[in-house]
A and B are shown apart, each in its own frame.
Chain A
Amino acid sequence: MTTHLHPNLSRPNKMNAGKPTATAIFAGLLLALAVGIGNAQAATPAEKGLEIAKEMDRRDLGFKDSRANLTMTLTNRHGEQTTRKLRLSSLEVPHTATGDKSLTVFNYPRDIKGTAFLSFTKILDPDDQWLYLPAVKRVKRISSANKSGPFVGSEFAYEDLVSFEVGKYSYKWLKDEACGDLTCFVIERTPKYENSGYTKQIVWVDQGEYRVQKVDFYDRKDSLLKTLVQTQFKQYVDKYWRPSLMVVKNLQTGKATELRFSDYEFRVGLKEQDFTSSRLKRIR
């Protein structure tokens, strides 16, 4: 789903972290072939769903690091809007066992300006998270058990914003169908990590570029809770697709949140040291 806010972390293969090698390209071709064949041949829906997820993940390998400015617009059921502005930095961690690192710094509204949120994503273990409160110069390690809670009052839950990771879900391919001008795989994924607010997610992934076009989220009572639609995709460094607009509509409350990305930069040279709790104190 949101490969984009906190990009994905599963690393099936360390050698893919740099330039694609001949072996990797060959493996990729084989896989594309396998998926293609899988469409026609007798893979189980679970196998096919997993292959699609792995291919989504593989296509995001090697992005190294990225930075973007985000504007979040929250709309309540009366149509009243409030805005948040934040800056997001992400670091790809080239290990299979751990996830990526991300740093979110708020710039607006002014009373939370400078507040920073550092997250080390894990696969099934709880994430490591720290919060920096600039008014008191305090770095707080916080609990990451709150996966299903709203992120800064928005319709995005914390678990929606962490990196996509193959091992976090089990999968089932449901069908192929048209999604706008494209054709999509429709897969069902079920969270395997603890404290999720969802029983399942139905994901529409386009067959050409394996981009998440739409997600339906089902709550703990298995009723449809909200829908995420991702549009205005742009390709960066000739490889990585990111949506410029993500819109979540909560179908139970009528609230909505729109997330707009701008000034996306890839491979800006961010390092592990830029993502440590002690460094939060010098961030603005």
Chain B
Amino acid sequence: MIRPGFHPGARFAAAALAVLLWLQAAPGEAASSNGSFEIGGSVAAELRVFPGDRSFDGQDRSTLSPSVVMAPEFVHEWDGGNERLTFIPFARVDAHDENRSHLDIREAHWLHAADSWDLTVGLGKVFWGVTESRHLVDIVNQTDAVESVDGEDKLGQPMVQLNWHTDWGSLGLFALPGFRERTFADDEARVRGSKPVRGADATYDSSSEAKHVDLAARWSHAIGDVDFALSHFHGTSREPTFSEAVRDGKDVFIPHYDQIDQSGLEVQLTKGAWLWKLETMTRSGHGDRFAAAVAGFEYTLYQVAETSADLGLLTEIHYDGRDSAAPATAANNDVFVGARLTLNNTSDTEMLVGAIIDRITQETFISVEGAHRLSDYWKAEAEVRWSANVPDNGFFAGAKNDDFVLLRAERFF
């Protein structure tokens, strides 16, 4: 889908130039009696290295796939920080994936904070959950799936969020007008499904389609060693189901977004060096009601081998009772094992290695993430995403040759 006059390479060059210009700008802080204004954020250069060959004709076959990310932050605060305007646009320009080259507004909201309550109006981001290998309960924001395969990058969600903080915990009420469709890799890009996805043709359960106003509530509390939260979401599923269709002579997937009700529970028990975690939810709206859960622990060995380093050992098990009427998931009957190494040095060097293994098919996803601060303004990160035993009929079959190594240099302001 190359648009005339906008060859990806040209776009990439233009974006690289824009970054250089922004680097010359002078972000910083300004404070006065009227409050403070601050410019921050980061820019990053990223390189994905695909050692494997492409899976589909017409797919890009470059081994090296660079991109540039810009995420500036503008924050204006007044009344001692009780009033705040936040604006965080986001842009990626990718040399090879037309869909990964995208703009979003991650946050653009007004916050009013009172003693026992606060109100957020605008585009925002909210995270729910306690486990590491799957975010089962987290549902407010749509996944920006072109950004990362781990599902942790999110699109900005229009919201009115009211939080009430009391002695018996915190109650959050959300009205979510405007649905964000999931992003999908371009047909010619790597790390895509077994068929191209036509996001623009998406269909909905609701006659209001993407204009359906979703509602959500979450009560969270901490009592002694236990932190827990109960939540409910009523609205458009963030996960689509896919139907097969033919477009322009090609077999494609068309996403469909059901209306769902999801009730979730998050619990963490913190006992010494042990963190015991549980996320569970039940959802109706995709055929039969089903339940799913992630449960496990993180145990940390502090100052291993008489160094300053900490080594965390993680295990989580995944269960998901959904049937074929519901959006496909890889995490139906899996085990996650992982290790987190934190050096506790001045560079905050850390590394997380993990594997998710399907207990029946042995389908395995291995992920390695590392981060190291190079200086006060620069940070280096690396990721490896590796898969093995991917079934040929599975949704991830299309990406089975798309194991990659990602290198990122990020400049903060």
Contacts and interface: CB of A to CB of B under 8 A. Distances in A.
Interface string A255-284: 000000000000000010100111101101
Contacts of B373: 109, 111
Q: List 3 A-B pairs, minimum CB-CB distance, nearest first.
A: A278-B170, A110-B412, A153-B346
Interface in A41-72: none
A271 B152 CA distance: 34
B255 to A, nearest CB: 25
Nearest to B277: A141
A143 interface: yes
B284 interface: no
B118 interface: yes
Nearest to A113: B40
B169 A278 contact: yes
Contacts of B413: 110
B125 to A, nearest CB: 5
Interface centre among A111, A271, A278, A279 (most CB of B within 10 A): A278
A150 B165 contact: no
A284 B84 contact: yes
Contacts of B111: 282
Nearest to A138: B127
Contacts of A138: 127, 129
A115 to B, nearest CB: 10
Nearest to B86: A284
Contacts of A136: 127, 152
Interface stretch (B11-19, B266-274, B354-362): B266-274
Given A138-B127, A146-B310, A112 B348 contact: yes
Contact of B302 (A126, A141, A149, A282): A149
B275 A141 contact: yes
B377 interface: yes
Interface of A: 74, 76, 82-83, 108-113, 126, 128, 136-138, 140-143, 145-146, 148-150, 152-153, 195, 271, 273, 276-279, 281-282, 284
Contact of B310 (A83, A149, A273): A149
Given A141-B222, A145-B273, A145-B302, A109 B412 contact: yes
Contact of B116 (A111, A145, A150, A273): A273
Size range of the interface on B?
Answer: 35 or more
B115 A148 contact: no
B170 A276 contact: yes
A118 to B, nearest CB: 10
B206 interface: no
Nearest to B413: A110
Interface string B164-181: 010001100000000000
B64 interface: no
B81 A284 contact: yes
Given A149-B344, A277-B227, 16 more contacts: A83-B376, A109-B376, A110-B376, A110-B413, A111-B42, A111-B373, A140-B130, A143-B275, A148-B303, A273-B115, A276-B165, A278-B169, A278-B220, A282-B111, A282-B113, A282-B163
A217 to B, nearest CB: 15
19 contacts: A82-B376, A109-B373, A110-B377, A110-B412, A110-B413, A111-B379, A111-B412, A128-B270, A137-B125, A137-B126, A142-B270, A143-B275, A145-B302, A146-B273, A149-B344, A153-B308, A271-B115, A277-B227, A278-B220
